[in-house]
Amino acid sequence: MALAAPASAAITAAAPGAPAADGVTEQAGHGIEGELAGARITVGSPRWLDAGTLGDRVAGLEEQGMTVVIVHRGGVPVAAIGVRDELRPEVPEVVSTLADRGIGVTMLTGDNARTARALAAQAGIEDVRAELRPGEIISETEIARAYSVSRQPVREVFIKLAEAGLVRVRPQRGTMVSPITAEAVTEARFVREAIESDVVRAAAARADGNDARRLLAQIDDQKRVAEDDVAAFMKLDELFHRTLAEIAGVPFAWRVVEDVKAQMDRIRYLSVEEMHVRRLIAQHEAIARAIEAGDAAAAEEAMRGHLREILRSLPDIAAAHPDLFGKGG
Domain spans, the chain: 5-83, 86-133, 135-178, 182-320
For the cut 50, the answer to whether the pLDDT of residue 243 exceeds it is yes
For the cut 60, the answer to whether the pLDDT of residue 329 exceeds it is no
CATH 3.40.1110.10 fits 5-83, yes or no: yes
User: What's the whole-number mean pLDDT along residues 207-229?
Assistant: 91
For strands 127-129 and 167-170, give the pairing.
unpaired
Supply the mean pLDDT for the chain.
Answer: 85
DSSP string, 288-310: HHHHHTT-HHHHHHHHHHHHTHH
The CATH class of 182-320 is mainly alpha
Q: Give the model's confidence band at 248: pLDDT under 50 very low, under 70 low, under 90 confident, else very high.
A: very high
Distance separating alpha carbons of residues 313 and 319, to the nearest angstrom: 10
Q: Give the model's confidence band at 2: pLDDT under 50 very low, under 70 low, under 90 confident, else very high.
A: very low
Lowest mean pLDDT across 6-15, 161-170, 200-209: 6-15
User: What's the whole-number mean pLDDT along residues 256-283?
Assistant: 77
Radius of gyration of the chain (CA): 21
User: What's the whole-number mean pLDDT along residues 214-236?
Assistant: 86
Nearest-CA neighbor of 165 among 55, 263, 63?
A: 263
Distance separating alpha carbons of residues 203 and 254, to the nearest angstrom: 13
Choose between 222 and 327: higher pLDDT.
222
Residues in CB range of 281: below 8 A, 6 or more apart = 219, 222, 223, 226
For the cut 50, the answer to whether the pLDDT of residue 31 exceeds it is yes
| CATH assignment of 135-178, among 3.60.15.10, 1.10.260.40, 1.10.10.10, 3.40.50.1820 | 1.10.10.10
Question: 3-class DSSP state for residue 14?
Answer: helix
For strands 127-129 and 106-108, give the pairing.
parallel
Q: Kindly state the percentage of the chain with pLDDT values over 70.
A: 90
CB atoms within 10 A of CB 186: 16
Lowest mean pLDDT across 73-82, 193-202, 218-227, 271-280: 271-280
DSSP string, 236-259: HHHHHHHHHHHHHT-HHHHHHHHH
Nearest-CA neighbor of 186 among 96, 316, 314?
A: 314
| pLDDT score for 272 | 37
Q: Are 215 and 291 in contact (CB under 8 A)?
A: yes
Checking 103-110 for CB contacts under 8 A at 24+ apart, the result is 104/146, 104/147, 106/143, 106/146, 108/132, 108/138
User: What's the whole-number mean pLDDT along residues 123-138?
Assistant: 88
Distance separating alpha carbons of residues 175 and 137, to the nearest angstrom: 6
- Give per-residue burial for 59-94: e unless 16+ CB within 10 Å, then b: bebbeebbbbbbbbeeeebeebbbbbbeeeeebeee
Q: Give the model's confidence band at 63: pLDDT under 50 very low, under 70 low, under 90 confident, else very high.
A: confident
For the cut 90, the answer to whether the pLDDT of residue 9 exceeds it is no
- CB neighbour class for 257 (10 Å; exposed up to 12, middle 13-18, buried from 19): buried
| pLDDT score for 97 | 93
Distance separating alpha carbons of residues 303 and 82, to the nearest angstrom: 35
Q: Give the model's confidence band at 271: pLDDT under 50 very low, under 70 low, under 90 confident, else very high.
A: low
Choose between 38 and 324: higher pLDDT.
38
Q: Give the model's confidence band at 146: pLDDT under 50 very low, under 70 low, under 90 confident, else very high.
A: confident
For the cut 90, the answer to whether the pLDDT of residue 320 exceeds it is no
Distance separating alpha carbons of residues 71 and 79, to the nearest angstrom: 5
Q: Are 143 and 127 in contact (CB under 8 A)?
A: yes
Distance separating alpha carbons of residues 263 and 254, to the nearest angstrom: 15
| pLDDT score for 315 | 84
Phi, psi of 171 (to 5 degrees): -55, 135
| pLDDT score for 40 | 92
